[in-house]
């Protein structure tokens, strides 16, 4: 269980996240929604400790994450993988090596530096790629793949970290609708198959509704909605998104690409 207690982050006069209290049971897939600037990225970055809270606490399985330092903090970051909008792959390296980077804290440093990855780790990385039908791309340069494929490589890299939590910060913002659905399907599959807790920041309300069992809405840093996707009425969504409603709430719901078994 992940618990946020009065989590707050100020940047000068701006309160990006304002006293957010939230409990996420292990294995849940949560969509974090809200208009641009609502505080979604800051919230996720605090959970990973890329951004330090101004006040409040983060607990995971009862352990105070806010207090972690040094090696314990590095271990938490391995167990709490981040996925970013721009994939953050090494474009000149092949796909398999990019996925193996996720094993870096599971192998001795010299092996990672010399790229002499143990056979067992190569097998883990290949099987993660196979999970998303991408094993045949293992030898290709990551930079030569489409955006949707690159994001699925990033998800495979996160998966081989063996995390308990995955934080995805606008993972589909630069993708076309079909690839966005494939990437959301990949996140839903690892949530379902491995019981990994997923928190995903997502601008498109339609995608959030299609893939996330629970939605959490932020407005000016404050938690203003928390409930199942079905409980978010159109009127509530329009209040949450304000002038961006037309962009966030598409005319048609996206077709949900089935999650591979
Ligand atoms: N490093 C920073 N320095 C100063 N202000 C920041 C910083 N990071 C975020 N902010 C401010 O905090 C507020 C919340 O930003 P945040 O990026 O968390 O929102 P968001 O909901 O993720 O928005 P978007 O969807 O546009 O990424 C905004 O007003 C933003 O300008």
The proportion of the chain whose per-residue pLDDT surpasses 70, expressed as a percent, equals 89
The band of 247, judged by pLDDT with boundaries at 50, 70 and 90, is: low
Question: In the numeric block, which tokens belong to residue 121?
Answer: 């780790």
Residues 164-215 pLDDT 10s: 999 999 999 989 998 999 999 999 999 999 999 999 999 888 899 999 999 9
For ligand 1, is residue 25 a contact (CB within 6 Å)?
Answer: no
pTM over 0.90: no
Rounded Cα distance between 93 and 95, Å, is 7
CA distance 27 to 82: 16
Q: Average pLDDT over the chain, rounded to whole?
A: 88
Atom 4 in ligand 1: which residue has the minimum CA distance? 11
Distance from C-alpha of 217 to C-alpha of 193, rounded to nearest angstrom: 26
What is the reported pLDDT for 171?
94
| Strand 214-219 with 222-228, pairing | antiparallel
Rg (CA), the chain: 18
CB 133 less than 6 A from any atom of ligand 1 = no
pLDDT score at 230: 86
What DSSP string describes 208-253? Answer: HHHH-SEEEEEETTEEEEEEEGGG--HHHHHHHHGGGHHHHS-SSP
| Domain annotation for the chain: domains and CATH numbers | 2-247 (3.40.50.300)
| Span 93-149, pLDDT tens digits | 999 999 998 887 766 666 666 666 778 888 999 999 998 889 999 999 999 999 999
């Amino acid at each position: 269980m992940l618990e946020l207690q009065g989590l707050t982050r100020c940047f000068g006069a701006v309160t990006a996240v304002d006293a957010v209290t939230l409990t996420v049971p292990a294995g849940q897939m949560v969509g974090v929604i809200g208009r641009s600037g609502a505080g979604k990225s800051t919230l996720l970055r605090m959970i990973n400790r890329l951004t330090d809270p101004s006040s409040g606490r983060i607990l995971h399985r009862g352990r105070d994450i806010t207090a972690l330092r040094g090696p314990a903090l590095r271990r938490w970051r391995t167990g709490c993988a981040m996925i970013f909008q721009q994939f953050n792959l090494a474009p000149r390296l092949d796909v398999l090596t990019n996925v193996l980077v996720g094993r870096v804290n599971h192998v001795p440093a010299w092996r990672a530096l010399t790229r002499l990855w143990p056979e067992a780790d190569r097998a883990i990385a290949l099987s993660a790629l196979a999970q998303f039908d991408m094993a045949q791309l293992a030898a290709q340069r990551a930079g030569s793949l489409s955006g949707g494929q690159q994001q699925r490589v990033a998800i495979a890299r996160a998966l081989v970290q063996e995390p308990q939590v995955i934080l995805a910060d606008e993972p589909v913002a630069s993708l076309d609708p079909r690839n966005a659905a494939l990437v959301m399907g990949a996140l839903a599959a690892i949530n379902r198959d491995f019981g990994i807790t997923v928190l995903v920041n997502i601008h498109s309300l339609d995608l959030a509704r299609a893939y996330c069992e629970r939605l959490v809405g932020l407005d000016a840093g404050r938690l203003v909605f928390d409930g199942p996707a079905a409980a978010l009425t159109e009127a509530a969504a329009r209040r949450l998104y304000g002038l961006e409603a037309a962009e966030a709430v598409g005319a048609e719901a996206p077709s949900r690409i089935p999650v591979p078994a």
